[in-house]
Amino acid sequence: MKLRLAERARKSYEAAPPHIQRAFDKQCQLLGQNLRHPSLQAKKYEGWKGVWQARADGGWRFYFTIERDLYIIIGLKPHPK
C-alpha cells in the first residue's frame, strides 16, 4: 500500500517534536506493510465514517482513510488521556 500525507497532517507532523516524528515515520512504514501490525493498534475511529486511527506512540495517534491501494494520513495529534 502507498501512503500520502494530507496538508493538515503535514503541518501537524512539522509541528510535532522530533521523537514523535521518528515514531510516526516508523509506524507509517509498518502501516504500509501491514494494517494489522500489533504496534499500530489500528481501528476504525468511532463517530467518523471511513476514518481509521493508529498509534504513533503511547501518547500520539494518527488518523487516516483508505482509498483502494492508498492510505491518506489526515491528522496527527496527541491522544487525550
pLDDT digits (tens, 9 = 90+) for 15-72: 999 999 999 999 999 999 999 999 999 999 887 789 999 999 989 999 999 999 999 9
Whole-number pLDDT of residue 1: 87
**Which cell is 80 given?**
487525550
What pTM did the predictor assign? 0.92
Domains in the chain: boundaries: 2-78
Whole-number pLDDT of residue 79: 85
Kindly tell me if the per-residue pLDDT of 81 is higher than 80.
no
Whole-number pLDDT of residue 30: 96
Fold that domain 2-78 belongs to in CATH: YaeB-like fold (3.30.2310)
Q: What angle do CA 44, 11, 36 make, to 5 degrees?
A: 25
Is residue 3 a contact partner of residue 71, using CB atoms and an 8 Å limit? Answer: yes
| Cross-strand partners of 44 | 52
Whole-number pLDDT of residue 53: 95
Q: How many CB atoms lie within 10 A of CB 66?
A: 13
**Which cell is 10 given?**
503535514
